[in-house]
Chain A
């Protein structure tokens, strides 16, 4: 299992860099990981809103929500969402939120 070191801590990730130990997620992880997903500087309140939304949806339903749903529930459009997470909400957003990679025929 590959590992990455962020802000002095070691995390187990899959080969695409998705966190494998979901309970080890913390805010430092998200912040330290942000630059690999093309986010410059400090995560803003808008980023946290989406990250927290993704995490709470995942905790309840076991999956990441459809992207359109992310937009609707947070009152933003697709363009804005891609501005926040340039590598895409499904990849960058979920990675920072510590969600596992989508599985099944998707």
Chain B
């Protein structure tokens, strides 16, 4: 009765290709059983009148439906033109080689499927299988771009290319968080995460199709006003000034955030969202750097106070514009190196991916704050009283910092020194699970997408967090240390959605807050469980 969905089914017109029914998601343990029969709230008819919704129970992009047959056909042609470019050296010099390898060599062994948290937690829905969307792209590529493809398609797997196929594929590229756990376990090195990234890229660069949170309100706004948050340079300075006052009030420590200091050793790049949503993170960095006598600065130039680079997730052109801007600001400030704060995707963007882009004097040394902080904490310059952090702590590994870059131990060395009740999640390190908010999901909340994230893509992380603290009494406050803005956003949403503060006394925050909390000489703790954070 329940025929297994095949990649070719993506082309068959229907209202909904895949529906998750009540009770199909992986069950949650006590005291969260009441969430186990919950299904996603239905999309509101008045909000989805003219948009494509035929993939599943949610919408990430909201692609307008073509009004006429001609428009429909033009979009299919546009898609094919974009697809062709993905496989041309001059149009995709960045990722052509790994894309080709991944297109040609998948053995369909399904090792990746078992590694994917979205697929597993969804109740193993076929469309979320990592190779499902790759196979759709692979079949289109073979049939329409390869010589004799229309004939061999009958043997190697056929698939019709129509607007339904394309619209669903675009939405489907936003059901994967690009955590690349699939790529890490593949025995032959196929990267289904990369294929997904290339699909997003095709849609954005060729067809102008991307979620507004990461494009229009994200990278476009970043380049226009200086930050994806909408903060202009004045606002950044105003917020920082306020953070200084708050820090002094909270900890009793008088801190100065230095701006535009030419020749400083370090240019610190924060995700600007920290300034608005987690200002204590920005304040804690400043306290640590100042207390350790570091020569550092922030930049008040547009884009220089916002480390984000959303282009990493969906558009090489937007990515390059921002990366070059970041490097150029550091070059003109004549700093010795850039340090990237607690923002995972900014780590990968500026250190790894931008490495092919930044040449000559733009190739300024770039370092993870995990490493900088480890140096400071281990140097002996600062005195700590770990007893102040005497509560259960677990560590979330941001995929871009840990799996993508292999930065595993620095943050752990710090925690072992300052958090006596630190315990690992299972699994952790490069085998970690995504927070569920990767690749922009944490900031995407149109339609019912945030609910899909909380129920499906963040579910594995929630289970892991509960498991890490399962032997602790309910009323003991527990701290999930997540050194990444995006991860913090999704963990905050998990806690709210499942009422986990009330039910499990779960709290969350970054790494620097724990460091400052253990620092000798602070009058009052920076971590105050249960108090409404002063900025909410």
- The chain A residues found within 8 Å of chain B, CB to CB, are 2, 14-16, 60-63, 66-69, 78, 90, 100, 102-106
Contacts and interface: CB of A to CB of B under 8 A. Distances in A.
B46 A104 contact: no
Nearest to A79: B532
Interface in B173-223: 213, 217-218, 221-222
B315 interface: no
Contacts of A90: 536
Contacts of A68: 242, 246, 534-535
Nearest to B485: A105
Interface string B425-460: 000000000000000001101110000000000000
A78 B532 contact: yes
A104 B225 contact: no
Contact of B276 (A14, A78, A102): A102
Contacts of B276: 63, 66, 102, 104, 106
A12 B225 CA distance: 23
Interface in B227-241: 227-232, 234-235, 238-239
Contact of B225 (A15, A62, A106): A62
Contacts of B351: none
B46 A61 contact: no
Given A62-B235, A68-B535, A103 B242 contact: no
B273 interface: yes
B271 A63 contact: no
A78 B535 CA distance: 10
Contact of A67 (B228, B229, B343, B536): B536
Contact of B218 (A2, A62, A103): A103
B108 interface: no
Contacts of A67: 534-536
Given A67-B535, A68-B534, A78-B532, A61 B217 contact: no
A61 B231 contact: yes
A63 B235 contact: yes
Nearest to B306: A104
Given A67-B536, A69-B242, A105-B485, 18 more contacts: A2-B46, A2-B47, A15-B47, A66-B276, A66-B279, A67-B534, A100-B230, A102-B276, A103-B229, A104-B272, A104-B273, A104-B306, A104-B308, A105-B272, A105-B277, A105-B308, A106-B229, A106-B443
Nearest to B437: A105
Interface of B: 46-47, 213, 217-218, 221-222, 225, 227-232, 234-235, 238-239, 242, 246, 271-274, 276-277, 279, 306, 308, 343, 442-443, 445-447, 485-486, 489, 532, 534-536
Contacts of B234: 60-61
Contact of A103 (B213, B279, B343, B486): B213
B232 to A, nearest CB: 5
A21 to B, nearest CB: 15
Contacts of B239: 66
9 contacts: A16-B445, A61-B234, A62-B230, A67-B534, A100-B230, A104-B273, A104-B306, A105-B274, A106-B273
A90 B447 CA distance: 19
Q: Which of A90, A102, A103 has the most CB of B within 10 A?
A: A103
Q: Which of A2, A63, A104 has the most CB of B within 10 A?
A: A104
Nearest to B484: A105
Contact of B535 (A14, A66, A100, A102): A66
A103 B46 contact: no
A90 B234 CA distance: 20
Given A63-B230, A66-B242, A105 B225 contact: no
A36 to B, nearest CB: 15
A90 B489 CA distance: 16
Nearest to A69: B242
A16 B448 CA distance: 11
A66 B238 CA distance: 10
B228 A103 contact: yes
A18 B46 CA distance: 16
Contacts of B308: 104-105
B248 to A, nearest CB: 13
Q: Which of A61, A78, A100 has the most CB of B within 10 A?
A: A61
A69 B238 CA distance: 10
Given A78-B532, A103-B217, A105-B273, A63 B447 contact: no
Contacts of B447: 15
Closest 9 CB pairs of A and B: A105-B273, A61-B235, A104-B229, A104-B228, A103-B217, A106-B277, A68-B534, A105-B485, A106-B273
A35 B233 CA distance: 35
Contacts of A104: 217-218, 221-222, 227-230, 272-273, 276, 306, 308, 443
Contacts of A60: 234-235
Nearest to B489: A105
Contacts of A78: 532, 534
A105 B534 contact: no
Contacts of B277: 105-106
A3 to B, nearest CB: 10
Contacts of A16: 445
